[in-house]
Amino acid sequence: MERRLAAILVSDVVGYSRLMQLDEAGTLAALAERRKEILEPLVVKYHARIVKVMGDGVLIEFASAVNAVACAVELQDSMKAANADLPEDRKILLRVGVNLGDVIAQGNDLYGDGVNIAVRLEALAEPGSVVVSQTVFSHVRGKSKLGFEDLGEQNLKNMAEPVRVYRIGSPPELAPKSGNGRAQPSKLSIAVLPFVNMSGDPEQEYFSDGITEDIITDLSKVSTLKVLSRNTVFTFKGKSVDVGQIARQLKVGHVLEGSVRKAGGRVRITAELIDADDSHVWAERYDRDLSDIFALQDEISETIVTALKLKLQPGEKKAIESRSTHNPHAYQLYLLGRDYQLRHSARSLGIALRFYQQALEIDPLYARAWAMVAVCQARLHWIGKSEDSGLAAAEKALTLDTSLAEAHAARGRVLAANGRYEEALAAHEEALRLEPDSFDVRFNFGGTCFQLGRHEAAIEHYERAAKLLESDYVSLRLATMSYVALGRHKESLGLASSHAAHREGGYGASRRRKRAGEWRHRLGSTGRERTRQTMGLARPSH
C-alpha cells in the first residue's frame, strides 16, 4: 500500500434508473459516447487518471486540485451542451464532488477518507452542479476566476468531523442577494429538527420520531413552503446544535425544534420556530390528552403556516387534516411497528407485523398500517419466513388510499415474486413517482431489479435507500451482491468495507448498543415478560 495526496473527482448520473427504464440500450449507448467524446479527452487534457467506472459513476484522480476543479467545470459545461437538443426526460445530468486529501493506493484502486469525502460531496451536489471541500477551495482560491458559494459546514455520513463545503457558481433557484449579503430562497423553506424525547424512557423514542415525521409530512403538503426531507434533518438527531447555524448550513429560512413528553394518557409538546438570523418567530407549549394527538398535530402545522404568513389553501388544509386513522392507540401501535420494521431482521419484521395487525384490529380502515403489513409480509415471504406474499394487504391499502407509495412498492415486490414483471415494474414506477425519497420505495424497487438481473438499477436504488435511512445497513450489503453479480469485485469489496464500518460504527450500531444497554439496565425478568406480553410474544404460563 502507498499513501499520497491526491485530488479526487467523483460523479454520477442523476436519475440513472429512470433513464434505463425509458430506454436501456439508448442510455448505455449515450453514456458510452459521452465518456468517449467528453470525459476521456478531459482526463487527458488535465493529466488525470480514471481510477474506476461504477456503472453510472466514475472516480478520477488528479495530481492538482486546480486541474480537478477545471475539469469538473468543463465536464458539466460539455454535458450541458450535449443535452441542449434533447427533451427534458432524456437529458443526462451529472452530480460532481471534488476533494483533496490523503488516499491509500492499492493496485490501481484508491481508498481512504480522501475518497470517501469526495463520494459524500457528490451526493450533496445538485443536478448539473459541482461541490468541493474546504481543502480544494483553499488551493484553488486566487488561481481561478470561478465563483464559489459557501454552503457552510456539513455533517457527512460516517465522517467524524463536519466538512465545510462550497458550490461552484450560484444555484439558479436562489433569488438575488439580500441586504446582508446572504442568498435568499425563492420560496419560504423550513427544516423540522427531530423532536427530543423527554419522557425519561428511551423506549418512547419511536413516538417522538413519529411526531417529527408527521409534522414534516403535513408541512410538505403546503405548496408555497419548501420542507427539507426526513433523511436530511435526522442527521442532527441526538446532537447539540446551534439553530441559526443549522438554518444557514441547510440554506433554509426557518427551523422548527421541539420536544415530546408522553406519560400515561397525556402528551406534552413544546415547539419553537426560529429564523436564519437566530430570531424567535413563535413558540408554544401544548399539554393535551393523548386522544387529542391528531388535532394537536393539525394545530401545530397550521400555526406554523400562519406564523410564516402563508395562506393555506382549502385543499391543503383538507390534506393536512386527512389522517389514515383517527384512533390514537392504533397510531401508537403503527409507530411501534415502524420502529421495529426498520431494524430489518426477520424477528423484528415479525414483531412489526404483529404491531401493525394489532393496529388494524382497532381500526380496520387504517391504510398506512395495511401498507406496512404488505411491506413486512413481502420481505418475510422473500426470505421464506411467511406464506403470505403481502398482495392482499397491498391491494387493501390501495383500495383505501391509492396515493400510498409504500403500498405500490410492496405490490411491486409481490408481483415480481409471482413472475408478473411488467406489472411489478409499473407498480414500482408509480411508487417512485409518488415518493422518490421513501426508504421503502427504494429498498423494494432495488429488490425487484436484483431479481430481474438489472443490477445497475438495483445498485442505484439500494445505495439511495442507504442514504435515506441513517440506521440502515442491509441496503449496502445487497448493493454489494449486485456488484458481485456484475463481476465488479473491487467495487464490491470497497462497498463491503463501507457496509461493515456503517454497521459497526454508524448511527444504527450505536443506537442498537444504547438500546440494548438501557434495556438490560431497566428491565428485570418481570419487566421483560411484561414487554413480551405487550407484543403478544409471551409464553403461556404453567
Q: Are residues 487 and 345 both part of a single domain?
A: yes
**Mean pLDDT lowest for which of 169-183, 193-207, 264-278, 397-411?**
169-183
User: Which set of grid coordinates corresponds to residue 243?
Assistant: 439553530
Q: Can you tell me the distance from the alpha carbon of 54 to that of 60, in angstroms, rounded to the nearest whole number?
A: 11
CATH number at residue 240: 3.40.50.10610
**Mean pLDDT lowest for which of 42-51, 296-305, 327-336, 340-349?**
296-305
* Residue 472: pLDDT band with limits 50, 70, 90: low
Residue 541 scores a pLDDT above 70: no
Q: Are residues 217 and 312 both part of a single domain?
A: yes
* Residue 176: pLDDT band with limits 50, 70, 90: very low
- Residue-wise pLDDT tens digits, 184-219: 443 478 888 888 888 777 767 778 888 888 888 777
* Residue 520: pLDDT band with limits 50, 70, 90: very low
Q: Are residues 156 and 264 both part of a single domain?
A: no
Please check whether residue 254 is in contact with residue 190, taking contact to mean a CB–CB distance below 8 angstroms. Answer: yes
- Residue-wise pLDDT tens digits, 372-407: 898 888 888 878 888 888 889 999 999 988 888 888
Q: Are residues 254 and 310 both part of a single domain?
A: yes
In a domain, 178, yes or no: no
181: left (phi over 0), alpha (psi -120 to 50) or beta: left
Q: Are residues 124 and 193 both part of a single domain?
A: no
Please check whether residue 214 is in contact with residue 298, taking contact to mean a CB–CB distance below 8 angstroms. Answer: no
| Cα dist from 444 to 91, 378, 416, 457, 496, whole Å | 26, 9, 10, 12, 20
User: Is the four-CA dihedral 223, 224, 225, 226 of positive or negative sign?
Assistant: positive
Residue with cell 440554506: 251
Amino acid at 513: R
In a domain, 527, yes or no: no
Q: Are residues 317 and 362 both part of a single domain?
A: no
Burial category of 193 from C-beta neighbours within 10 Å (exposed 0-12, middle 13-18, buried 19 and up): buried
* Residue 132: pLDDT band with limits 50, 70, 90: very high
Indicate whether this model's pTM tops 0.85: no
What is the bridge-based pairing of β-strands 254-263 and 188-192?
A: parallel
Range of the domain at 315: 188-321
Residue with cell 422548527: 256
- Residue-wise pLDDT tens digits, 319-333: 555 666 778 788 888
Q: Which of 69-83, 130-144, 437-451 has the highest mean pLDDT?
A: 69-83
Q: Can you tell me the distance from the alpha carbon of 307 to that of 219, in angstroms, rounded to the nearest whole number?
A: 13
Q: What pLDDT score was predicted for residue 183?
A: 41
Q: What pLDDT score was predicted for residue 393?
A: 92
In this prediction, residues 462-471 reach a mean pLDDT of 75
Q: Are residues 294 and 353 both part of a single domain?
A: no
Q: Are residues 58 and 117 both part of a single domain?
A: yes
Q: Are residues 144 and 287 both part of a single domain?
A: no
Residue partners of 534: CB distance under 8 A and separation at least 6: none
Residue 147 scores a pLDDT above 80: yes
Give the H/E segment covering residue 267. Answer: strand 266-275
Q: Can you tell me the distance from the alpha carbon of 349 to that of 360, in angstroms, rounded to the nearest whole number?
A: 16
Say which residue, 383 or 508, is predicted with more confidence: 383
Please check whether residue 131 is in contact with residue 168, taking contact to mean a CB–CB distance below 8 angstroms. Answer: yes
Mean pLDDT of the chain: 78
In a domain, 532, yes or no: no
Q: What is the DSSP letter of 36?
A: I
Q: What is the DSSP letter of 186?
A: S
Q: Which of 469, 376, 360, 459 is nearest to 414 (CA)?
A: 376
Residue with cell 392504533: 330
Q: Can you tell me the distance from the alpha carbon of 361 to that of 45, in angstroms, rounded to the nearest whole number?
A: 67
The C-alpha angle 239, 501, 344, rounded to 5 degrees, equals 80
Q: Are residues 244 and 269 both part of a single domain?
A: yes
Number of compact structural domains in the chain: 3
In this prediction, residues 252-280 reach a mean pLDDT of 81
**Mean pLDDT lowest for which of 6-10, 14-18, 438-442, 514-518?**
514-518
Q: What pLDDT score was predicted for residue 509?
A: 43
Residue 522 scores a pLDDT above 60: no
In a domain, 273, yes or no: yes
Percent of the chain with pLDDT over 90: 17
